[in-house]
Amino acid sequence: MTSSSPVFSAQALDVRRLARAHGVMQGAVALADLPRWREDAPEWPQADAAAALQLDWQARAELRTPPGGAEQVWLRLTFTGQVPQICQRCLSVYLQPLAVDRWFRFVADEATAEAEDDDAEEDLLVWTPRFNLLELVEDELFLALPLVPMHDVCPQALPTEAVDADFHQAERPHPFAALAALKGRAGRPGPGQEDA
């Protein structure tokens, strides 16, 4: 009799079964295979390299029983990779390195998740018998992106100041300069009004 280890699918994962098997899954997902990412991602200039852009992920599930509590299913998700971003300083596309390491606890339903969310340090997920791990990877990818993506040092020098096309033309007189001149004369006596 031969025993075989259970086969798990990242797109239809029974997390409880993975935890009971003390299982660890790992793999890689191409950025092009993540539908929401593909929809919003900036174009990577090297088309052949764009196909190689991927996230290397690992998922480990475990069962924990807190003192006086019921058995809980936990999942640790880690992934690393580089994703194209547009630098907000120089507006060129660059590769942003990412590294994510997160723990999740599964709960029975949405009501439980809402009730426990404020007090929980970990993120809560609603348990489902066919959990899509790759959707979670994509969610965490978006959460890991910087709010303002920028190179550490932009590859091209940035212009230090904006130059107006009319900058070098002769300066026009200020429209209120004539009014200021009139006001200045108002305090002085006019011709024929000198003190006696």
The span from the CA of 196 to the CA of 119, in Å, is 90
In a domain, 134, yes or no: yes
pLDDT at residue 132 in the model: 96
Please check whether residue 193 lies inside any domain of the structure: no
Our count of domains for the chain comes to: 1
138 in a structural domain: yes
Instruction: Identify whether the C-beta of residue 120 lies closer than 8 Å to the C-beta of residue 106.
Output: no
Walking along the chain (196 residues) 10 residues at a time, the average pLDDT comes out as 64 93 94 90 70 90 91 96 92 93 93 87 91 96 95 79 56 69 66 56
Q: Quote the radius of gyration of the chain (alpha carbons, Å).
A: 32
pTM of structure: 0.73
Q: Decide if 64 is inside a domain.
A: yes
Give alpha helix (H) positions in 41-129: 47-50, 110-117
